[in-house]
Chains A and B, each alone.
Chain A
Amino acid sequence: MHISEGILSGPVLLSSAVLTASGVAIGLRKMQVHKIPEVAVLTSAFFVISLVHIPVGPASAHLILNGLVGLLMGWMAFPSIFVAITLQALLFQFGGFTTLGANTLTMAVPAVAVYYLFNPLIKRGNNYIALAAAFAAGVCGILFACLLLTTCLFLTTKEFYTVAKVMFIGHTPIMVIEGIVTTFCVSFLRKVKPEILVING
């Protein structure tokens, strides 16, 4: 779900870069020393998971895991996703350097939204509520990212409808898979290391 160079208009690129810079600054301020190794591990996972492709009909889509990253890191998802997307652009030519702001924004804003929506339920709710919230977090991470990407395209060109439709259809199975993966991860972490789910956002 990377936006390539030359697609978005100048104002959209500039405003998304400014918003991303603000998000990264907030994320770095909120990053406590003991959380940095966890952020590094989750950033590595986010960086690697984009190479896991899942066939969807004649095409294929890749996992993103921004829902899980948001649940576990809150605002710290911004610097994490920014670093991972920069390295993806540098090493694999995914997206581009001028669209780093837009690409980070479309992934990190859903992550932060997911954190505020579902982290309290996972922390305080019983096991069933926590697992349902984890599944919803995985689904919503991708859903919100699709919506943001559609907004970016809408602000650039009015001929976005077909692209948006293809993107939503192509990512529907990914939403379900990410929901399942997030549920398993949260279930495991609640048993093994529940303190990782408690963060200061």
Chain B
Amino acid sequence: MIAINVRVFHVYAILTTALSLLPVSYVQAHAVHYDVLQRGISAKISYTASDPVNYAEYELFGPGDTLPHQTGRTDKNGFVCFFPNRTGIWVIKVRGESTHGLHGATIEVKVDDALNLKSFNKPFVETLSATLIKLFVGISLIIGMFGAYLILKTKKTQRFLANKNRNGEKE
């Protein structure tokens, strides 16, 4: 009789311990823990020095990733922040929208072994002087293209007139 009671007691003890652990695991599975770290890499995206690409869609790809590691929108000031988990080249693809339509930018960020920023592909920064340089280049190209067309057309016209004169003289 005593032996049976001891066995029942053991089963009871095991069951109670198991049941008492259940709520703990339940709580652990659904709790959200957080930590705040002063780490990570941030990229600022802008149309010009004073015009950020804010609230624009972006996708972040880790080295060799085919699916995005992170997606979202840039913040109010045009920032994308991420925390790399491996070394290599991380790619941020941003799609900003302005009055000229959608503008895409691809930023390549090299991350070193310590998961810190090593380097990134430097863009042609859209300052006022850069815009003016582009305008100057554009106008020069336009004048150059039409200048070349003018020379070609003049030569063609001269050749046509010369042939016409020659035929006239023969007749």
Contacts and interface: CB of A to CB of B under 8 A. Distances in A.
Nearest to A61: B99
Interface in A1-42: 2-6, 28, 31, 33, 36-37, 39-40
Given A36-B149, A36-B153, A48 B100 contact: no
B56 to A, nearest CB: 13
A59 B137 contact: no
Given A36-B146, A39-B146, A44-B142, A60 B135 contact: no
Contacts of B150: 33, 36-37
A4 B100 CA distance: 8
A91 interface: yes
Interface in A69-101: 83-84, 87-88, 91-96
Contacts of B81: none
B103 interface: yes
A94 B101 contact: yes
Interface residues of B, number: 23
Contact of A44 (B101, B104, B139): B139
Nearest to A59: B99
A151 interface: no
Contacts of B141: 87
Given A92-B134, A94-B101, A95-B101, A47 B142 contact: yes
A51 interface: yes
Interface class of chain B by DSSP:
helix
Nearest to A60: B99
B101 A2 contact: yes
Interface residues of A, number: 33
A95 B135 CA distance: 17
Interface string B134-171: 11011101110111011001100100000000000000
Contacts of B145: 40, 83
A96 B99 CA distance: 14
B131 interface: yes
A6 to B, nearest CB: 8
The list of the 5 closest CB pairs from A to B, nearest first, reads: A40-B146, A4-B101, A4-B102, A94-B100, A2-B101
